[in-house]
Amino acid sequence: MQRLQERFGARELPAIAQGRFQDVQQEVGESLDDWSDQVLILATTAFRDLPYAYATEHAVTKFCHGLLDKEADKHVSLHITHINGGCDEHDEDI
């Protein structure tokens, strides 16, 4: 791992960051604010070479579908749908 860091720098490789982004889910006891912060940080790291709008769109989808409380997922999805299309239009991505 050290050789990779020396060769490519200390930044996490995009493929590794994307894998972490895909696998993450809200932890038990994690607040919605903390969960949203974590998702946005992971998205901007995973998609750092792509437009910010792309990372944000994927962060919204991951935020909704990574929620532990599926009732909260439905509630958040309804509010986000009114704002920008939100979670419901991304159901086919999963």
3-state SS of 49-74 is CCCHHHHHHHHHHHHHHCCCCHHHHH
Domain layout of the chain by residue ranges: 2-93
pLDDT band at 91 (very low <50, low <70, confident <90, very high): very low
pTM for this one? Answer: 0.66
pLDDT at 70: 76
Range 21-59 burial, b when 16+ CB lie within 10 A, else e:
beeeebeeeeeeeebbebbbebbbbbbeeeeeeebebbb
Higher pLDDT: 50 or 4? It is 50
What average pLDDT does range 18-39 have in this prediction?
Answer: 93
Q: Which residues contact 55 (CB under 8 A, 6 or more apart)?
A: 43, 44, 46, 47, 48
